[in-house]
Amino acid sequence: MPWIQRISRLSPFEKEGLYRILIPPSLYSRFRIDPLSLRNEKGERIVRFFCPRGDRTCLVEIKLPGSEHALYSIQLTDLNDFTQIDWDFLVVNDPGSPVFTTHIDQEGRDTLFGWASRNLAEEEKAVEAGLFPGQVTKGLGLTREVIHVLEFFCRIFDIKSMRLEALFYHNAITYERHGFSYFDEYAQMKRIHELFQPGKALFNKLDNSTPFRKPEFAHTVRGRSWAIHDGVLADIEDDVLDEGWASPVMYRMVGKPRGMVTFPDPVY
């Protein structure tokens, strides 16, 4: 039986004891969360575990009182191979930074991170504020620490590797810098880097035609990610990029990081 499903059969006390490993330790002190009771200074329970009995998925979430968006949210799912685990998503929001409603379009519909629809006015504000596609606030710079707690969790259960889908270009670059390799779309990622070089097809499409296609965006991870989110890949003819952006599936061997670099020495 896969590990998440096994853990889901334990008592709530035992499940929470294991899943609290997935909370980066820095969050306890930074936001004054009691690591035992998982309550704030007012005694309010602000950590939620969603792991119903028999389920193959677990969700750990921290949500501060009065905040619409979770401070921290991570979800894991069992794979058929018991030595692997799927890292479904990670959401980290800085509660002290401005909020941009890029997640809701002008009709009030969920944009699904901008893939179902877009709120261009809010996205333009987000670009100017230095955010990446898919963000509603700035993050907290926790990627390295999250990977550390994930590896610790995996070691406990002898899970050999973690897998994820990099929804955006900047996600893929960040994860490759942290020792993730590509199951697929490695050729896509390399080609994107090639075509953002001066004089190449993607570079030439950064013509100020939209707020997401500024010429200087060719040189940064954030800029490229916004241009790709804006559909720039569909505006060129290329055998490798003929279907536009495809989210890469990536993996990291526990204790054996081996990044496959597609953007050497990236500038964010």
Q: pLDDT-based confidence at 81, cuts 50/70/90? A: confident
Whether 259 is covered by a domain: the verdict is no
Which CATH number goes with the domain that contains 114? 3.40.630.30
- Which helix H or strand E contains 29, and what residues bound it? helix 25-30
Instruction: Give the range of the structural domain holding residue 25, as residue numbers without chain letter.
Output: 3-186+246-253
Whether 93 is covered by a domain: the verdict is yes
| Residue-wise pLDDT tens digits, 37-53 | 999 999 999 999 999 99
Whether 234 is covered by a domain: the verdict is no
- Specify the pTM: 0.94
- DSSP, res 12: H
| Residue-wise pLDDT tens digits, 55-72 | 999 999 999 999 989 999
* pLDDT exceeds cutoff 80 at 253: yes
SS3 assignment, position 82? coil
- DSSP, res 262: S
> What local confidence, expressed as pLDDT, does residue 8 receive?
93
Specify which residues 147 forms β-bridges with: none
Rg of the chain over Cα atoms, rounded to whole angstroms, equals: 20
Q: CA–CA distance from 126 to each of 34, 53, 95, 118, 228 (Å)?
A: 33, 40, 15, 12, 15
Whether 32 is covered by a domain: the verdict is yes
- Determine the Cα–Cα distance for residues 165 and 179; give it in Å rounded to an integer: 14
Domain count for the chain: 1
On average, the pLDDT of the chain sits at 95
* pLDDT exceeds cutoff 80 at 103: yes
Q: Which of 183, 152, 189, 153 is nearest to 169 (CA)?
A: 189
- Determine the Cα–Cα distance for residues 8 and 255; give it in Å rounded to an integer: 26
For 133-145, what is the mean pLDDT?
96
More confident residue, 227 or 107: 227
Whether 213 is covered by a domain: the verdict is no
Whether 127 is covered by a domain: the verdict is yes
Tokens of 254: 């526990």
Whether 90 is covered by a domain: the verdict is yes
Sign of CA dihedral 157, 160, 165, 170: positive
Whether 262 is covered by a domain: the verdict is no
